[in-house]
Each structure stands twice: as structure tokens, then as C-alpha cells.
């Protein structure tokens, strides 16, 4: 018998006016609590996370049906500009017990709408360090005790 794994996602958005929106996409017609926060059911799909070796920001699209609640969300959040998203993904077993949980943070960069879909676009909250970032020389003063080998030289 194969193991059954289900995926539930929890969408927590804070806009620049500190309005808070909490949705989950698995438990239909019910609310689900994580900690003190209650998440209402809303049909949405998260897709498009990309990572690469150059360290560009990961991009994420969250797709909602173009319904009154999602359009109001985009309007109240100023077109999803500078919102803060915490997206929690939970893997559930057949008894709907959490097997694993993963949390990611994103910043809103805009929104788009079509006849059927509202798209909220996000980039990762952490940006990589660029090549022009000022370097430091490792010394005992700024990093503490270090093991010495042919790979590390102290100045």
C-alpha cells in the first residue's frame, strides 16, 4: 500500500496599511488554525518559485479565481505592492496530520487580472549578496577562533 501525502498551503499577507489576510487552500468550507492565526478556505494555487546559481530573487505567483474577494484583496493591498507574504506549505498524511512543514517569505511586486484569474506576484524577501558587496579579511578579531589549514590564512 502506497503512502498518501497531501499538500496544504497557508497564505498570510500583510499589506502596507497593516491589513492582514489569512487563507488556506486544502480544508474546504472550514477554517484551520496554526498557532493563534485562523485561516479561511480560499481556492488558490502557488507556482513559479525559481532559484539559480547567480542568486537572483526567487519569483512566485499566487493565482486566485477572479472573484469579488480576491479582487477586493488586490485593491485593498494597493495592487500587491510592498505586501509581505508568509507562505506555509504542510505535507499531511492520510489522517491529515502534519508530516512536514515549510515556511517561505516573499515581498509583493504587483498583480495582474484576466477574465478568470487574479495573479499576485512576489519575489523572495532575501536577496543574494552581489559581487560588488564589500569584502572583509578574516581575522581572529572579527570571526573568533578558526581552525587553521592550507585553505584558511589569518592576517
- Residue 41: partners with Cβ closer than 8 Å, 6 or more residues away: 23, 24, 25, 26, 27, 28, 29, 30, 31
pLDDT of residue 50: 52
pLDDT of residue 141: 72
The pTM for the full model equals: 0.75
Alpha-carbon distance 2 to 147, whole Å? 47
**Which domains, and CATH codes, for the chain?**
6-128 (2.30.110)
pLDDT of residue 137: 64
pLDDT of residue 110: 93
- How many angstroms from the chain centroid is the CA of residue 33? 18
Residues of the chain below pLDDT 70: 1-2, 49-57, 126-140, 142-155
Amino acid at each position: 500500500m502506497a503512502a498518501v501525502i497531501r499538500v496544504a498551503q497557508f497564505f498570510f499577507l500583510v499589506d502596507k496599511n497593516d491589513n492582514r489576510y489569512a487563507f488556506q487552500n486544502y480544508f474546504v468550507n472550514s477554517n484551520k488554525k496554526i498557532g493563534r492565526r485562523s485561516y479561511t478556505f480560499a481556492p488558490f494555487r502557488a507556482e513559479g518559485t525559481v532559484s539559480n546559481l547567480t542568486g537572483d530573487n526567487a519569483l512566485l505567483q499566487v493565482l486566485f479565481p477572479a472573484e469579488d474577494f480576491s479582487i477586493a484583496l488586490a485593491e485593498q493591498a494597493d495592487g500587491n505592492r510592498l505586501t509581505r507574504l508568509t507562505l506555509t506549505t504542510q505535507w499531511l498524511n492520510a489522517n491529515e496530520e502534519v508530516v512536514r512543514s515549510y515556511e517561505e517569505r516573499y515581498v509583493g511586486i504587483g498583480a495582474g487580472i484576466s477574465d478568470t484569474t487574479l495573479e499576485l506576484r512576489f519575489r523572495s524577501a532575501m536577496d543574494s549578496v552581489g559581487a560588488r558587496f564589500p569584502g572583509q579579511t578574516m581575522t581572529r578579531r572579527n570571526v573568533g577562533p578558526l581552525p587553521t589549514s592550507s585553505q584558511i590564512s589569518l592576517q
